[in-house]
Amino acid sequence: LSAGELAAVRADFPLLGRTLRAGRPLVYLDSAATSQKPEVVIDAELEFYTQRNAAVHRGAHQLAEEATEAYEQARDEVATLVGAATGEIVWTSGATAGLNLLAYAMSNASAGRGGQAARALALGPGDEVVVTEAEHHANLVPWQELCARTGATLRWIGVGDDGRLQLEQLADVVGARTKVVAVSHVSNVTGAVTDVPAVVAVARSVGALVVLDACQSVPHLPVDLPSLGVDAAAFSGHKMLGPTGVGALWARRELLEAMPPVTTGGSMVEVVTMESATYAPPPQKFEAGTQMVAQAVGMGAAARYLRELGMPAVAEHEAALTRALLDVVSRVPGVRVIGPTDPADRLAVVSFVVDGVHAHDVGQVLDDQGVAVRVGHHCAQPLHRRFGVAATARASASVYTTLADVEAFGEALATVRPFFGLGGAA
């Protein structure tokens, strides 16, 4: 993005213009937790509520028709952003819900639900699910639970000192009994980008499904899910400039057809008798109850906004931010980055430890200077344990982040150790 384009992007985000306590400008470096929202997203929700609000897929009236059209157009926008067919996008409340939906569908299949088509998705004792040590808890705990319910075994590959997945371990960990390989596309801690085709090649060779946690990739990279070769992927609206409370699960049509439903009730059925029910085809089969229509419309607007900016341009802008973040952090004495130090291997989410200072204190000192970062384990406790730390501070960027934001962060970071009487002022 040129300077002019970036200024125009920033002007689209009302919140970026606010000031903090003591009149400080906001330096928002917590986009990996949740992104800010452009006016078009806020307006899309507002327009829905002020002009179109009605239950979808039901009413015979004009509003219901318009609401349904807005809801389905939004699905189409999200599908287009990730190269998917519209009917392969299931609305969920977020990535966590999408990953749980997959895991619960598989346990329903394991309990004999879903008939013949679902049998290939069933797990039992001796079967295996493979994850990685780098996963967000959302792509770990649902698989632990699936294993606990079915008697299957959870296995995993590790992370090297460089913060990259040790993909060479897949050859030992993935075997004839592997049913699922679940990995994140981009780590929300290290920013490391997974070599997805390499994972797919190993999983395919044993007929395992590949599930991708695409939460941290879809907002930042051009992502074409079908051509990555994975079978399913989950991502969240709120991390890609959209609203909270909405996300998407993408899966190949055959997989969605084979998956038994998880949440059952209204809107997902065809014929219901007192004894039983038949189900609507996907995606409706997975969308029981009144859906989050306004949020879906907002997520559609976010997908369109990103598509119009152009994901290659977004990725290029953010690559410059990655280099700048790594550069400023490496210039501050006593600061150690967790994860790849080569900007080519990662995105603009940089977790670090400051020697002698707890991450929460780092966050406090930065906040006093208007710099918002996240501190803690970022829902990835095993990964933090792997690096021998309980918590890190994390600076993360999005398309609206500027090099000036990164510089302000660097200046504030240089004050942290001196603030605590430790050496190392830059």
Residues at the site binding ligand PMP, with contacts judged by CB under 6 A: 94-96, 136, 138-139, 184, 188, 213, 215-216, 236, 238, 379
The beta-carbon contacts of 283-287 under 8 Å, at least 24 apart in sequence, are: 283/75, 283/87, 283/88, 283/89, 283/90, 283/91, 283/256, 284/57, 285/256, 285/259, 285/261, 286/90, 286/92, 286/101, 286/249, 286/256, 286/259, 286/261, 286/262, 287/90, 287/91
> Measured from the CB atom, is 140 or 174 closer to ligand PMP?
140
Q: How far is the CB of 213 from ligand PMP (least distance, A)?
A: 5
Tell me how far apart the alpha carbons of residues 371 and 260 are, in angstroms, rounded to a whole number. 46
Q: How far is the CB of 138 from ligand PMP (least distance, A)?
A: 4
**Which value, to the nearest 10 degrees, does the dihedral of the CA atoms of residues 83, 86, 90, 94 take?**
50
Q: How far is the CB of 24 from ligand PMP (least distance, A)?
A: 26
Closest by Cα among 74, 69, 13, 30 to 299: 74
> Measured from the CB atom, is 139 or 284 closer to ligand PMP?
139
Q: How far is the CB of 381 from ligand PMP (least distance, A)?
A: 13
Which residues have C-beta within 8 Å of that of residue 233, sequence separation ≥ 6?
A: 82, 185, 211, 212, 213, 214, 225, 249, 250, 251
3-class secondary-structure state, position 288:
coil
Q: How far is the CB of 208 from ligand PMP (least distance, A)?
A: 20
> Measured from the CB atom, is 12 or 135 closer to ligand PMP?
135
Q: Which residue type does 144 have?
A: Q
Tell me how far apart the alpha carbons of residues 76 and 230 are, in angstroms, rounded to a whole number. 20
> Measured from the CB atom, is 258 or 397 closer to ligand PMP?
397
Q: What angle do CA 166, 167, 173 make, to 5 degrees?
A: 100
Q: How far is the CB of 104 from ligand PMP (least distance, A)?
A: 15
> Measured from the CB atom, is 110 or 132 closer to ligand PMP?
132
Q: In 152-308, where do the E strands start and end?
A: 153-157, 178-184, 209-213, 232-236, 247-251, 269-272, 277-279
**Which value, to the nearest 10 degrees, does the dihedral of the CA atoms of residues 29, 327, 329, 157 take?**
80
> Measured from the CB atom, is 67 or 146 closer to ligand PMP?
146
Active site residues: 379
